Amino acid sequence: MSPKKSPYFELKSGSVDTLLFVVKTTELDAMRAELTRRFEATPEFFANDTVAIDLRRLADGEQVALGDIARLLESVRMRPVGVVAQAAQHGWAAQAGLPFLEARDKRVSGGRAEAEEAVAHAAKADASTAAQPELFPQDATQDVVVDASADANGDADALDARSAPRAATLVVDRPLRSGQRVYAKGDLVVLGMVSNGAEVIAEGNIHIYAPLRGRALAGVHGNHDARIFCTSLEAELISIAGIYRTTEVPLAEDVRGKPAQIRLDEEKLLIEPLRLT
């Protein structure tokens, strides 16, 4: 029987999407500390995802212990499947025994890698930075942070009169372009469209009174009660407390492009129609 007609298996050419872990340093201890810190806030974010180790950002002549990096990734429940490298790196990189892969350098589906980077960036943002959304540049990415202990004017001494301080609500009254990122230590309200490639991140709830086409991450420090509300759900990625969903899973007809709310039911992300009338 011809192998092509075998009922037991087939060998076919194809392509598989995977994350790229881009190595930018040879300091493994620093890499380990940073990776551990990032994944503590969202331990399920990339659990069991396959990843390729990308060496192309290393300087000429730099080498790293690929076996150690592979074990480091496995320690945070990622699954290294190969190496992306320049031709000059193949000699020493082959010693790890991982296959070489080709990368097309396209964006990860649903923006998961970019969203994880946003959460990590938000986690180490300076809490003393006051929110100034009116300073968005027209030609560069802008990060905006509001202090959890500050009032709406950024006054760190102006706390709620009750015993527990309340985080301020950050209001952004203009659309967000691709590449712009907003982070709030409390709730976040956006009065304009969140475009593809833009990110809105909050430790509390997120309210978007316009189309959500980019990425929205609420409850980023483990607040399972946080919710996302929007008047038109078209998001690349939505996440609450590290539990996320991307465009890889199509939205249901009753919420796609319509008012919706996103919340957690235990560890399950629920997307429900939002009745505005």
- 83/98 Cα distance (integer angstroms): 6
Q: Which amino acid is residue 43, in one-letter code? A: P
- Sheet harboring 206-212: ordered strands across? 170-172, 188-190, 206-212, 228-233, 260-265, 268-273
User: Do 72 and 133 fall into the same domain?
Assistant: no
- The answer to whether 32 and 72 have CB atoms below 8 angstroms apart is yes
Question: What is the token pair recorded at 54?
Answer: 């990308």
- 121/177 Cα distance (integer angstroms): 18
User: Do 125 and 84 fall into the same domain?
Assistant: no
Per residue of the chain (277 residues), give pLDDT as tens: 455 567 788 877 766 667 788 899 999 999 988 888 777 655 555 667 788 999 999 999 999 999 999 999 998 888 999 999 999 999 999 988 999 988 765 443 344 455 455 544 544 443 333 333 333 333 333 444 433 333 333 443 333 333 345 678 999 999 999 888 899 989 999 999 999 889 999 999 999 999 999 999 999 888 899 999 999 999 999 999 888 888 777 888 899 999 999 999 888 889 999 887 6
User: Do 128 and 250 fall into the same domain?
Assistant: yes
Domain end point (choices 74, 106, 138): 106
User: Do 99 and 120 fall into the same domain?
Assistant: no
Q: Which amino acid is residue 231, in one-letter code? A: T
Domain end point (choices 106, 129, 163): 106
Q: How many CA atoms lie within 13 A of 40 on its CB side?
A: 8
The beta strands (E) that lie in the chain are given as 19-22, 50-54, 79-84, 143-144, 170-172, 181-184, 188-190, 199-202, 206-212, 215-218, 228-233, 237-240, 243-246, 260-265, 268-273
- For 49, list phi and psi in degrees, rounded to 5: -80, 145
| Residue 240 within any structural domain of the chain | yes
Determine the pLDDT at residue 154: 41
User: Do 86 and 126 fall into the same domain?
Assistant: no
| Residue 56 within any structural domain of the chain | yes
Instruction: Find the CATH number of the domain harbouring 73.
Output: 3.30.70.260
Determine the pLDDT at residue 116: 53
- 216/268 Cα distance (integer angstroms): 17
- 23/54 Cα distance (integer angstroms): 6
Q: What DSSP letter does each residue of 210-250 carry, written as one string?
A: EEE-SEEEESTTT-TT--EEEEEE--SEEEETTEEEETTSP
Determine the pLDDT at residue 64: 94
Q: How many domains is the chain partitioned into structurally?
A: 2
Q: Which amino acid is residue 126, in one-letter code? A: D
User: Do 175 and 199 fall into the same domain?
Assistant: yes
User: Do 175 and 232 fall into the same domain?
Assistant: yes
- Which has the closest alpha carbon to 89: 128, 60, 67? 60
| Residue 252 within any structural domain of the chain | yes
DSSP 109: G
Determine the pLDDT at residue 40: 66
- For 39, list phi and psi in degrees, rounded to 5: -85, -10
SS3 content of the chain, % helix, strand, coil (to 5): 20, 25, 55
**Parent domain of 198:** 115-273
